Structure 1
Amino acid sequence: MNPTLHTFSIPVMGTGHSIDSPIRVAPFGINSVISVVDDLLVEKIRKYYCQQFGLPYNNIPRSAEDGRAKRITAYLDLVNDIVQRKFKEVRSQSFFEDNEKAKYFRMLPDQSPLKNTYQKMLAAAENEKRSLAIKLNDLMQPGSIDVNIMAKVDKLNLTKSGKPMSAEFSDGSAALRGYANSKLSSSLILSAGFNPRLYNYLSEFKDFYRDASGNIKKKIILKVSDFRSALIQGKYLAKKGLEVFEYRIESGLNCGGHAFATDGLLLPVLLKEFKEKREMLSSAIRPLIEKFYEDERDGFSPEWQAVEPRITVQGGIGTHGEMQRLLKEYDMDSTGWGSPFLLVPEATTVDQTTRTLLENAGEEDLYLSGVSPLGVPFNNVRQTGSRLWHEGRIEKGKPGSQCPKGFLESNTEFTENPICTASTQYQLLKIDQINHSEYTDDKKERLKTKVLDKACLCDHLGNGALIQLGIQKESRSPQAICPGPNIAYFNGEYSLEEMLDHIYGRGEPLVDSDRPHMFAKEMNMYVDYLQDLIDGSDLDPGEDRKLNRFRNNLEEGMDYCRDIAASDGFEGENLESIKAAVTEQKARLERMFSVVVV
């Protein structure tokens, strides 16, 4: 895989909203990520694109042997073929017209050597233009078609007769096999925690190892929450000869989708640690890789390039200035911009109703919800089609979903086989249990609200794509979406080029200058999160060790943020908002911990 052309990528967004993003943006050299959690959605999208491009389509039914893996492989191969076709069309266009090829080069970052060569060619004398044009054509490359697997979404499955299947047919293993068997040369992003069984399974596929030339066809990216986790997971994989190509840091709360909060460790603190200890991710891991190749292969060739892993960051980035701080102050290799691209139809697949909801959403409409059956906080927006659908079911006395896909079935409180907490079966059983309990009426209502909050994410997160592509009708397809809070500051529909100009600081920015800095926003969110923890605790906050550790980490992070606010800012950074947030949130912490629980 070649070096990336851009200093950003488009992360995975739900199961459906970036399902075809590579088809849309990879021909322009932009990296993006597909989710393969929902292989049934993947199959519907494959059928659609086969029809669009006049390609043969053979259905892989739900009952097919190893169907999950086969559906994923077939779709990824199709995406690869379409991207290659579209990229060749772009590359074959003239250099001297206002076409997609010109757009390809216009959208590159201004410091890009490729863009500089392009501009040199445009200004060159006629006798130089041809040789520069040939050189540029050779240097053009499509964006990477990366794939995300949530490591903890790894349900063990049963045969038709109800007998447990072997571990290789678990949801996570089958998804991994689907990617591993595809023709892609790209990266696999492993997110949502450490799954030893899945990590062990990686070692069964040769594409994750170096070939005779020292190249790795399929690279591993780990989404991590802190340095310690990165080092532990990197060492674990290294003992199997598996090299981590990139560690992808994400804000614990200021992100889209599931939010995996730290113990109050703010993003800038984590970035500082990664910068200071970065060398360890090579020095502590490289010997393990070399030992594996000595013991298990023909040795680690001295001709092979030992590449230092990339470190990237995502979560809440909203201005060019913020991105510059991440790249220059913390030496990040790249950044991830997710939620703003939900408003770019050229990049993501979002139905018009939901996109309009996002365009009009303010800070008060974005919230950390309890809708996920995984029991992990989930960033959400109010009044989605999914929420309205669930409320209608509750009013009819039939809460929950019929659970048509079952990817998040994990609860065995009432049944021998796991069921989903968003299912009608579970919610009716749980509400009945609460009604027959000895809790106060007030507590019963609070507990029932938590039960009824759970939503059918497996199905509903993919519906927006199906509606937008004309595969399903909106009236029969409740839509869920999982934007980060950052979407509140973007309020229109944008072209791909407009969004890239914003990212690279070209022209008028798309957000107001008073938008709070990403570090300020995260700080506020963490104090809100701590307040929820305190509200759910029966102990005096001052006597709870976990809450005090959280507070101490937050206050240390706030002191560091105050130093950042006093530094020279990058153009477009709202450092004043960090100062204000530190003052306000420190005062909140003081008040929160001065309250004595009776």
Structure 2
Amino acid sequence: MNNSPTHTQDNKVHSFHIPVMGIGFTIDSATRVAPYGIDTVASMLDDELMERLRKKLCSIHNQPYEEIDRNDDDCRARRTTAYLNLLKFIVEKRFDELINSPESVEKYFSLLPPDSELDRRYKEFRQTNPTQELTRQWLKDNLSLGSIDVNIMTKLDKINYLNGERLPSEHNDAHSALRGFANSDLESSIVLSAGMNPSLYGYIQNFSDFFPDEKGYIRKKVTIKVSDYRSAIIQGKFLAKKGIWVSEYRMESGLNCGGHAFATDGFLMGPILEKFKQNREELYQTVFSILQEALAEKKLPVPESLPMRITAQGGVGTADEHNFLLEYYQLDSVGWGSPFLLVPEVTNVDEFTLQKLIEAKEKELYLSNISPLGVQFNNLRGNSKEIEQEERIKSGKPGSPCYKKNLALNVDRSGNNICSGSNTYQAAKIKELDSKNLSPEEYSAEYRKIVEKACICVGLGTSALLVNGLDTSVEGDGVSVCPGPNLAYFSKEMSLREMSDHIYGRTDVISRTDRPHMFINELRMYLDELRQKFESCVSSENPLQGKSIQSFSQNMMEGIEYYAGLVKNMKGRFNILKSQFEIELENAKQSILAILKELEKMRMVLVVI
């Protein structure tokens, strides 16, 4: 791979990373995979969960534990710092144990990609018949740890109060989590997702670890998760003006992903990655020149260059797709998320949820409206939190007690934070609904919109409690889970070794033969999204929606043309998939044209394609 500043591996030994999943599914995954050189991301949303896990982990690893109470000063930040420092300790401890265990060393190398330079050098070293002490020293000097990265959803930045008085913005939820990471001993990355939060972004410059030294080393790096190139350059420039360098732009499919789905305006993954590929140097030079000026103005070291990574995730499922993304789009890493929910060795998934995930097919994995954020949310039908929620609805007591208030972003009439998934909020909304004198059909539809909101800030963390044998009497045993649609094609429990072998093409764990290419799968999802937009437009007869559909359709059509050209020009790699691509692309094109024709009949927009 090119070793210019815009292409760097930063001593990475793997070409995949494990993204954040939910709140608790990957919250301690670093302790299991970082010793083997694999990067993973932990959610920093739930400080109560972190504190309870810290107590358990301290007991397991014989570390002193001093509780940080929820009423203590700056508890959210302090809990975050303490938890992350403990993760670092455990990872380093397990790495020391690894290099002293021939079996663990063998596992480390067995997980590496087939063309691993590290593996080649180790084999050469072994041919010198080194002593055990020399071998341990070589391993210590040459093996790399995976990065213990953390995630903050930037919009989950709830304002907090003390004795009825609003606290300064640095005590907002996301600000406090950021401060907790900044004050920790970690040398890793913070992954900022869900869009730009100017206040939070500006707050980063208060911490020296985010600035580069004279040699360009940054102790705490910034990664931003983006849906397109435009978002990347806007956010990169904004942060650069503060003297903060974006070390990684992580592109995620808008729909073919897990968790919340932030659909683009019809822009497809392939064309988006092509734009990153074509404009990589422009992105680097534009943002870096702004950064240099900002650092000079702050009288801070101005390095000659800085590394920049571009990575992607969302729907990848085969070694061929993995390698194609790396090679053709020149990516530095590819994220594999949902399939790792079937790897108990890596993620916190309780037995009931694991079995449901193994059995899940396309119909069980769907985009829902359960999130209190008002954003589409990937969901699994029949999960235990959904069962719990439906039982509450049937008993006439919809909603959940709001213990944690992590998503309490609404404000009630008294000025208190409240979540739309809470029983208090839903009871108030149902009371309002009762006074509207609606028809039974209208009432039923509006009632469902109220009660479908779920307490996911608890449900997405409960599995970590269950797996670790911690008390759930307050939260309940209901588990929310947010797998991407790609999970439908993975149908068995796997080990880390099996998953690694699948990613690198040493084996194939997918038994189904009907899995479409990841680009086709995403195209189908965007086509469904377009149909929903059209149905909404028909029912509302809103001309503005018609114009939105026209723009969405045009962007999809351009994506279809891009894929047609890609298949034509990449005959060797796409030869097996050529007929599938051609049929799917033509069907999608005709479906879009049919929708636009219907719009034209309605005389809502004039469409010319």
Q: Same fold (TM over 0.5)?
A: yes
Aligned 8 A contact 1:31 1:146 in 2: yes
Out of 101, 105, 109, the residue aligned to residue 105 of structure 1 is 109
- Shift, 1:587, TM fit: 2.6
Matched, 1:46 2:54: yes
Aligned 8 A contact 2:385 2:479 in 1: yes
Cα 1:178–1:128 change in 2 (3 A) is closer
Match of 2:150 in 1: 147
Match of 1:23 in 2: 31
Bigger mean CA offset, 28-37 vs 414-423? 414-423
SS in 2 for 1:248: strand
* Structure-1 separation of matches of 2:576 and 2:140: 37
SS in 1 for 2:382: coil
Aligned 8 A contact 1:107 1:497 in 2: yes
Give the 5 Å matches for 1:190-589: 190-300=192-302, 304=303, 306-412=305-411, 414-472=413-471, 476-537=476-537, 538-539=540-541, 544-566=546-568, 567-568=570-571, 570=573, 574-589=577-592
- Shift, 1:580, TM fit: 3.1
SS in 2 for 1:100: helix
* Structure-1 separation of matches of 2:273 and 2:438: 45
Give the 5 Å matches for 1:87-98: 87-94=95-102
Aligned 8 A contact 1:324 1:570 in 2: no
Quick one: which amino acid aligns to residue 189 of structure 1?
V
* Structure-1 separation of matches of 2:463 and 2:358: 15
* Structure-1 separation of matches of 2:269 and 2:589: 17
Match of 2:78 in 1: 70
- Shift, 1:388, TM fit: 0.5
SS in 2 for 1:579: helix
Deviation per CA, 1:266-312, whole angstroms, max 9, x where unpaired?
00010011111111121111221211222211552xxx451241100
* Structure-1 separation of matches of 2:329 and 2:543: 34
Gaps of 5+ in 2: 1-8, 604-609
- Shift, 1:55, TM fit: 1.2
Bigger mean CA offset, 448-457 vs 314-323? 448-457
Aligned 8 A contact 1:408 1:458 in 2: yes
* Structure-1 separation of matches of 2:133 and 2:95: 21
Deviation per CA, 1:476-510, whole angstroms, max 9, x where unpaired?
31100100001100000000000000000013443
Quick one: which amino acid aligns to residue 423 of structure 2?
T
Cα 1:469–1:128 change in 2 (3 A) is closer
Aligned 8 A contact 1:517 1:575 in 2: no
Bigger mean CA offset, 474-483 vs 56-65? 474-483
When normalised by structure 2's length, the TM-score is: 0.93
Quick one: which amino acid aligns to residue 415 of structure 2?
E
SS in 1 for 2:222: strand
- Shift, 1:92, TM fit: 2.1
* Structure-2 separation of matches of 1:332 and 1:324: 10
Cα 1:307–1:112 change in 2 (3 A) is farther
Match of 1:591 in 2: 594
SS in 2 for 1:235: helix
- Shift, 1:240, TM fit: 1.2
Cα 1:511–1:561 change in 2 (3 A) is farther
Deviation per CA, 1:337-371, whole angstroms, max 9, x where unpaired?
00000000111110010010000000111000001
Bigger mean CA offset, 564-573 vs 26-35? 564-573
Cα 1:193–1:104 change in 2 (3 A) is same
Moved over 6 A (4+): 127-133, 540-543
Cα 1:576–1:319 change in 2 (3 A) is farther
Aligned 8 A contact 2:11 2:144 in 1: no
- What is the Cα-based RMSD across aligned positions, in Å? 2.2
Bigger mean CA offset, 560-569 vs 399-408? 560-569
SS in 2 for 1:190: strand
Cα 1:576–1:540 change in 2 (3 A) is farther
Bigger mean CA offset, 567-576 vs 286-295? 567-576
Cα 1:440–1:12 change in 2 (3 A) is same
Deviation per CA, 1:210-242, whole angstroms, max 9, x where unpaired?
235431100000101111111111111111111
- Shift, 1:2, TM fit: 4.4
Match of 2:6 in 1: none
Cα 1:500–1:572 change in 2 (3 A) is farther
- Shift, 1:555, TM fit: 1.2
* Structure-2 separation of matches of 1:51 and 1:322: 42
Aligned 8 A contact 1:366 1:380 in 2: yes
Cα 1:249–1:131 change in 2 (3 A) is same
Bigger mean CA offset, 283-292 vs 565-574? 565-574
Give the 5 Å matches for 1:5-24: 5-24=13-32
Aligned 8 A contact 2:384 2:480 in 1: yes
Cα 1:573–1:336 change in 2 (3 A) is farther
- Shift, 1:52, TM fit: 1.1
Deviation per CA, 1:501-543, whole angstroms, max 9, x where unpaired?
0000013443534311110110111111122222222237898
* Structure-1 separation of matches of 2:31 and 2:348: 11
SS in 2 for 1:285: helix
* Structure-2 separation of matches of 1:327 and 1:441: 54
Aligned 8 A contact 2:212 2:301 in 1: no
* Structure-2 separation of matches of 1:357 and 1:134: 45
- Shift, 1:56, TM fit: 1.2
Gaps of 5+ in 1: none
Cα 1:308–1:125 change in 2 (3 A) is closer
- Shift, 1:545, TM fit: 0.9
- Shift, 1:435, TM fit: 2.7
Quick one: which amino acid aligns to residue 168 of structure 2?
S
Bigger mean CA offset, 512-521 vs 84-93? 512-521
Quick one: which amino acid aligns to residue 503 of structure 1?
I
Cα 1:136–1:449 change in 2 (3 A) is same
Q: How many correspondences in the alignment?
A: 589
Cα 1:128–1:89 change in 2 (3 A) is closer
Out of 75, 89, 104, the residue aligned to residue 81 of structure 1 is 89
Deviation per CA, 1:30-66, whole angstroms, max 9, x where unpaired?
0000001011111111111111111111111111110
Cα 1:180–1:590 change in 2 (3 A) is same
Aligned 8 A contact 1:117 1:136 in 2: no
* Structure-2 separation of matches of 1:121 and 1:187: 32
* Structure-1 separation of matches of 2:472 and 2:545: 54
Cα 1:458–1:508 change in 2 (3 A) is closer
